[in-house]
Structure formats: C-alpha cells, structure tokens
Amino acid sequence: MEKCPSMIVQGENLGCTPLHIAAGMGNMKLVKLFLENDTLPAYVKDREGLSAFHIAAKEGNVLVMKELITACPDIYELLDNRGRTALHVAAESGMWEAVNFFLERPDLEGLINEQDEEGNTPMHLAAVKGYYKILIKLAGCRNVDTNATNKEGLTIMDKNRSSVALRIRLQAKAFAEGKGVGLDYLLKIPWKGAEIVKR
C-alpha cells in the first residue's frame, strides 16, 4: 500500500475497491488498515453508487459501519445512484442490526424519513420486502412519518404485501403510547384477523 497507494481507491470491473470488499466481508482488520492509510477510499463509490458504508449496511456488518463512521463522520450523507442512504440499503436488505445502528444514534435520526429518487423512505423499502421486524422498529421511532407517500402516491401500507398485519401493529403502537402499555408486550400478542379494530 505504501508503494502504490492509488491501488486502494482503484476499483475492479464493478467499481468495487479493496475497502468495499473488506467492508462487505466484515474484515475489520483490513478496514482499519485501509482507513489508517487514508480515509479517501471510504468515499469512493462503485458503479451502483454504493460506498463501503452502504456495502457494510447491506451486509449487516455493524462493526465495520462503526469504524467507517468514526473515521469519516459525514459518510452517512452519501447517496447511491438511486438517491438512497445506507439506511435505505439496510432496510431493503433486511439487516436488522444495521437498521438498529442508525436508530440508536440521535445524530442519524433524520435519515428515517429520507426519500430516495422514487420518493421511497426506508420504511417503504422494508414494506416491499416484507421485513416486518424492521417495519415495527422503524414505526416505533418518534419522528417517523408513517404516512409518507412516494412519487407514485403510495404509503407504506400500500407498498406492504400484507398491510393488515402492519396496520394492526401500528394500531397497537398507538394504543400503547396512549394507554401506557408497553409496546414490546403488545407486539408479542398473537393477533388474529378477527381482532382487527375498525377505524
């Protein structure tokens, strides 16, 4: 690396750099080594516009995400070619731990309602894939806009294959917040279709 530092930022056919590959594999030793030499490779994007931070989020490699954001505090602002943040990528990939990483950091709270080029929030993408655990976690955030519409005019309920189950959980969330009953308790209740509360 010392003899040829440009090697670190050069990508292969898909534009992936050695840091992209290390981040995707969760290889902390290599990630640290690359970042010690220079933080520039962290900002390099592949042909899809994914940074090493996006790749780590996509694969659920939270330790790599922590290392990258420590070395490059503004890396979370990077968008891919579709205008997606690393939170979008994590939600779409069903990576619970990576989504949780974002939600545990107050400085990253604004990403929850961020819309991509099609107007989709991370919740829209999780809904399309049917990642209910992620949907419930995102719905539990105080600043989330559960009524956000994308450019097609669709909400997360419209995008979800089974919006009835999600609607029940969101109603349980509202009930829990209004009545002081713990949300975790209500989410463990085995809901049946007949128990749907009419609006």
Per-residue pLDDT tens digits for 104-119? 999 998 999 999 999 9
Torsion of CA 132, 135, 139, 140, to 10 degrees: 70
As a whole number of angstroms, the distance between CA 2 and CA 61 comes to 27
Q: Is the pLDDT of residue 187 over 90?
A: no
Q: What is the pLDDT of residue 3?
A: 41
Domain boundaries, position 14: 5-195
Q: What is the pLDDT of residue 72?
A: 97
Q: What is the CATH number of the domain that holds 69?
A: 1.25.40.20
In three-state secondary structure terms, 111 is helix
Q: For residue 189, what is the DSSP state?
A: S
Q: What is the pLDDT of residue 166?
A: 60
Torsion of CA 54, 58, 62, 66, to 10 degrees: 0
Q: What is the domain count for the chain?
A: 1
As a whole number of angstroms, the distance between CA 176 and CA 159 comes to 25
| pTM listed for this prediction | 0.77
Indicate the average pLDDT of the chain: 81
- Determine the Cα angle at 126 with ends 123 and 130, to 5°: 130
Q: What is the pLDDT of residue 4?
A: 36
As a whole number of angstroms, the distance between CA 46 and CA 153 comes to 31
Highest mean pLDDT among 9-23, 153-167, 182-196: 9-23
